[in-house]
Amino acid sequence: MLSLEALFCPVDDVCRIFEPQWQQQMVCGYWQKAFPGLVSYPRFLEWMPSTRMPLCAYLRLCFGSCSGISCIDSTCVAVGPVRRVHSPKVFAALASWGKTSVGWFCGFTLHLVINERGELLHRALTPGTIDNRHPVPELLKRLHGRVFGDRGYISSKLGRHLRAHLGIALITKLRRKMKNRLMVLSDKLWLRKRGLLEAVNDQLKNIAQIEHTRHIAAQRPLW
């Protein structure tokens, strides 16, 4: 969907009607005959991992189309506070330490690729210790045109590989001590609009709450 309003309005209308009735008449207590196959809450938790593949397939269907202009970025998904990260053992074999511009974290790195309309094109989840440039060729395999990223994706070797094998131009800002180079004005303007992807990360973390500490089992999805 192109706007949150189109998604929020129907969900809000359903909740206004459903929640009062749910509070008055509990399904398990009063509607047992209407739901003879209703499972218990522990059994429901056991069935949750079985929805992972259908949800992934649905997410793939929701991907947008590449128009030749894409943005790539990554954000950390910590499994817990840094001070208490050694106590939970749920992701002990999967999560790893990583460092961002803000500081250290223990968890995963979520890589996202979107188009100029904010539609998701590809995603990947890697341990925190993996370099952000490592999954880029796989993420951009089905795309074309120009891809704009931050300074964390600067790599002459990666740029040559993408241009030679995928025909993609990876455009990033320069570091302070790097030699200046000419850039097309349109590319400079698109680099300034990378904040669109930051808005997507903000929606995922603060509204969808993909980053939390209530993990029960590692085989269940993080969100």
Q: What is the per-residue pLDDT for 149?
A: 87
What is the number of structural domains in the chain?
Answer: 2
Residues 78 and 161 in one domain: yes
- The answer to whether position 220 is within a domain reads no
Q: What is the per-residue pLDDT for 51?
A: 78
For residue 132, the enclosing domain spans 65-207
Residues 174 and 76 in one domain: yes
C-alpha span between 136 and 126 (Å, rounded): 12
User: What does DSSP assign to residue 36?
Assistant: T
The CATH number linked to 90 is 3.30.420
Residues 15 and 104 in one domain: no
| Tens of pLDDT, residue by residue, the chain (223 residues) | 456 667 677 777 766 777 666 655 555 556 667 667 777 778 877 877 777 778 788 888 888 888 889 999 888 888 877 776 665 567 777 777 888 777 888 888 889 999 888 888 999 888 888 888 899 999 998 898 999 988 888 888 998 999 999 999 888 888 777 777 777 888 888 888 877 888 888 888 888 777 776 666 655 544 4
HEC per residue, 71-132: EEEEEEEECCCHHHCCCCCCCCCCCEEEECCCCEEEEEEEEEEEECCCCEEEEEEEECCCCC
Residues 29 and 90 in one domain: no
Residues 84 and 167 in one domain: yes
- The answer to whether position 215 is within a domain reads no
Helix (H, G, I), strand (E, B) or coil at 67: coil
Residues 54 and 70 in one domain: no
Residues 151 and 195 in one domain: yes
C-alpha span between 156 and 147 (Å, rounded): 15
C-alpha span between 27 and 197 (Å, rounded): 41
Residues 144 and 120 in one domain: yes
